Amino acid sequence: MAVAVTSVAETCRQAKRAAGVLAQIDTAVKDRALEAIACALEQRLDEILQANELDMQLGREAEIGDALLDRLRLDGERVRAIARAVRQIAALADPVGEVIDGQRLPNGLDVRKVRVPLGVVAVVYEARPNVTIDAAALCLKSGNAIVLRGSSSAMHSNLALASIASEAAVEAGLPQGSVSLVAGGGRAELAELATQRDTVDLIIPRGGESLKEALQAVATVPVIYAASGNCHVYVDQGADLLQAEAIVLNAKTQRPGVCNAAETLLVHEAVAAQFLPRIASALGAAGVVMRADERSLALAADAEGVLLEPASAEDWDTEYLAPLIAVAVVGSVGEAIEHIARHGSGHSEAIVTRDTASARAFQLGVDAACVYVNASTRFTDGGEFGMGAEIGNSTQKLHARGPIGLRELCTFKYIVEGDGHVRA
C-alpha cells in the first residue's frame, strides 16, 4: 500500500517535501489526480465496503451508539457521493495564485497580494471515514499535502480510503507523501503530531469536545477547531408557523447525529400556545424527546404523541447528536439572542420570521459562523455552500470561520516587482 506504516515524524517530513512540490504544480495535474481518486473509489467499492463492515462490526460490539454508527457507515451511495464531491472540488477554480489585491505604488513598485497554499495540513477526526477523502481532495486542490489521523473506530475504512487516494494521486503525477495516514492509535501519537512545528503548518480537528481539549493541552502547531454545534432555531412572533414546523423538523430530524442539527428550540411567547402543541406532536411522531422549560411543559403537555421531559440546567449547553431537543419560551427576539449568547457554540443559528426588524436584529445580534433567516441549520456544509466539500466547520474568528474549503486552506504572500528600486 502507498500509505506506509512509518513514524509520525517521518510521515510529516515526507509530507513537507511533497508540499514543496505541490505548491508549484499546475491546476491541470491536480485536477487529473482528483479525477483519478474519484474513479478509484468507484472501481474499488467492494474493497472499501469490506473494510467499513469490519469497523461497523467492531462498533456494534463496542456499543458506540446509533449516532456514531451512522457517521461510520459507508454504503454504495455514500461512496459514490464522496466520489461526486471529489469531482465537484476538481471543477472549482484553483485558489492558488489568485490575486486578492494589487496596486502600483507611487514609487513605481507593483505589489500583489496572492493566495498560496498553507503547506502541510494535518486533519484529526473521529468516526467519519468520508472525511478521509473530503479532506484529501480539498488539500490537494489547494496545493497542500495532508496528514490524516482518524480514530481507531474507523481504522480499516480510513486505511482503505487513504491508500486508494494516495495511490491514485501518485499515479496521476503528484509527489509521494501528498496524502499520508497515521494510525490513530492513542493520545501519545496525537501529541506527537500536534508538536511537529518544523513540518506541519496547521492542524484541523474534527470531533467532540474531548478531542478539542486533548489538543489544547499539547498543541504547539496552529489549530483551527472545527468544533461542536449547539445550534438553535428561534420561532419569532412574526413566523409563518407552517414554515417554522418544517424548518424545526428538518433541523432536528433530517440527520440528528451531525454538528449542524438543531439542539434547542426557542419560541416567542406570543405564538407559543399555538405553535408548541403542533411541533410537540410532530417531533413526537418523529421519535424526538422534548426537554422543556416550565412554560413549554405546560403548553405542550396535552399534545398528541408528545415525548416530554423537564429540562435541566445542563440541557441548554448540550450537543445531543440524538433525537432530543431542548425547548424554551422566550419573551422577545432580544431574549432569544441573549439565550444563544449564553449557551450557543458559535456554529449555526436560525430565526423563523416574516418580520424584517426581527430578522435584522437576529442577524446583527447573533455571534455565530452561520446565521439563517427562514432556513434550516442543516445547510451549514461545504457541499451545500458550493465548496464541493469541507474539512469541518470552524467556530473561531481568525483565518477561517464556517465551512473550511479551498480558500480557507490557503494563506497569502505579497509579490513585489520593481525595476532597480532601492529605498531612500
**Whether 126 and 22 share a structural domain:** yes
pTM: 0.87
Half-sphere exposure at residue 391, Cβ-oriented, CA atoms within 13 angstroms: 35
The C-alpha cell that represents 263 in the structure block: 439542539
Q: What is the reported pLDDT for 1? A: 40
Q: Please list the ranges in the chain whose pLDDT falls under 70.
A: 1-5, 184-185, 227
Q: What is the pLDDT of residue 188?
A: 87
Q: How many CB atoms lie within 10 A of CB 163?
A: 21
pLDDT of residue 71: 86
C-alpha to C-alpha distance for 314 and 330, rounded to whole angstroms:
18
Q: Could you list the residue range(s) of the whole structural domain that residue 41 is in?
A: 8-226+391-417
Same domain? 210 vs 280: no
- How far apart (Å, rounded) are the C-alpha atoms in residues 258 and 202? 24
- The b/e string for 108-142 (b: 16+ C-beta within 10 A; e otherwise) is eeeeeebbbbbbbbbbbbbbbbbbbbbbbbbbbbb
User: How would you class 213 by CB atoms within 10 Å of its CB: exposed for 0-12, middle for 13-18, buried for 19 or more?
Assistant: exposed
Q: At 330, which CATH number?
A: 3.40.309.10
- Among 264, 372, 243, residue whose Cα is nearest residue 327: 264
pLDDT of residue 5: 54
Burial of residue 364, with CB atoms counted within 10 A of its CB: 0-12 exposed, 13-18 middle, 19 or more buried: exposed
Between CA 210 and CA 207 the distance in angstroms is 8
Instruction: Report how many helices (DSSP H) and strands (DSSP E) the chain contains, helices first.
Output: 14, 16
Tens of pLDDT, residue by residue over 58-110, are 999 999 988 789 889 999 999 999 999 999 999 999 999 999 999 999 999 99
**What CA–CA distances, in Å, run from 108 to 96, 413, 422, 424?**
26, 19, 11, 14
Number of domains observed in the structure of the chain: 2
180 and 103 housed in the same domain: yes
Give the rounded distance of the alpha carbon of 225 from its chain centre: 10
Q: Are residues 106 and 199 in the same domain?
A: yes
Residue 411 lies in a domain: yes
Backbone angles phi and psi of 325, in degrees to 5: -145, 135
Same structural domain, 86 and 133? yes
Question: Measured on CA atoms in the order 203, 208, 210, 216, is the torsion positive or negative?
Answer: positive
User: Do both 183 and 296 map to the same domain?
Assistant: no
Look at residue 18 and give its three-state secondary structure: helix
What are the C-alpha distances in Å from 64 to residues 61, 71, 129, 320, 338? 8, 11, 16, 14, 35
Residue 405, C-beta contacts closer than 8 angstroms, at least 6 positions apart: 138, 382, 385, 387, 388, 389, 390, 391
Query: Which CATH number is 114's domain given?
Result: 3.40.605.10
pLDDT digits (tens, 9 = 90+) for 130-173: 999 999 999 999 999 999 999 889 999 999 999 999 999 999 99
Together in a domain, 197 and 244: no
